[in-house]
Chains A and B, each alone.
Chain A
């Protein structure tokens, strides 16, 4: 698989792996910290957004990939997957928002948005290359 990837895709995948490794460490550290301590004032806010920073890096890496990719077909596949993820997440978020606000559906934390986005993005990455334009 690695040898089939374009140089831009390889760079993106390396950045992605690094970001996800940082995400796992930050998330586990935060869970442990907030369970055993009670961070105060500014530290509380900084520690709270810590796991989100590598996710921001993932989005930035996608942007860098789209700018660096010279293979137009590969870039088109990535753009389509991003749109599937983004569109699907917006639809689910808006439907759930109304269900929550008007019908008393249970509250879902906003950070699940990125999980849903990654799931839909991944589905599109897996299945789109076999679709017909």
Chain B
């Protein structure tokens, strides 16, 4: 699964640690999701969407 986390973070000038703090997870977890090593659960995907104030499909997609 592909995601736009890196771009969205950059637009807001957030580090991985900043995003991790907002999500209540570790920085390693943000890194794993961002680099595609880990696909988040639906609840975590919803939390990510809420943090960026975007719909899930604007962040995650099946195609690049």
- Would you call B38 and A73 a contact (CB within 8 A)? yes
10 new A-B contacts at CB < 8 Å, known A72-B44, A74-B29, A132-B37: A4-B27, A70-B24, A72-B25, A73-B25, A73-B26, A129-B28, A129-B32, A129-B37, A133-B38, A133-B39
The proximity string for B residues 19-42 relative to A, scoring 1 for CB distances below 8 Å and 0 otherwise, is 000001111110011001111110
CB-CB nearest in chain A for B44: A72
CB-CB nearest in chain A for B43: A72
Nearest Cβ on chain B to A85's Cβ, whole angstroms: 20
| B-to-A contact residues, CB < 8 Å | 24-29, 32-33, 36-41, 44
A131: interface (CB < 8 Å): yes
List, in ascending order, chain A residues with CB within 8 A of B26's CB: 4-6, 71, 73-74
Q: How far is the CA of A72 from the CA of B33 in the complex (A)?
A: 11
List, in ascending order, chain A residues with CB within 8 A of B40's CB: 72-73
- CB contact between B33 and one of A4, A5, A73, A132 (< 8 Å): that residue: A73
CB-CB nearest in chain A for B27: A4
CB under 8 Å from chain B, chain A span 69-102: 70-74, 76
- Would you call A72 and B41 a contact (CB within 8 A)? yes
The contact sample of 28 A-B pairs, CB cut-off 8 A, is A4-B26, A4-B27, A6-B26, A70-B25, A71-B25, A71-B26, A71-B29, A72-B25, A72-B40, A72-B41, A72-B44, A73-B25, A73-B26, A73-B28, A73-B29, A73-B32, A73-B38, A74-B26, A74-B28, A74-B29, A76-B38, A129-B28, A129-B32, A131-B37, A132-B36, A133-B37, A133-B38, A133-B39
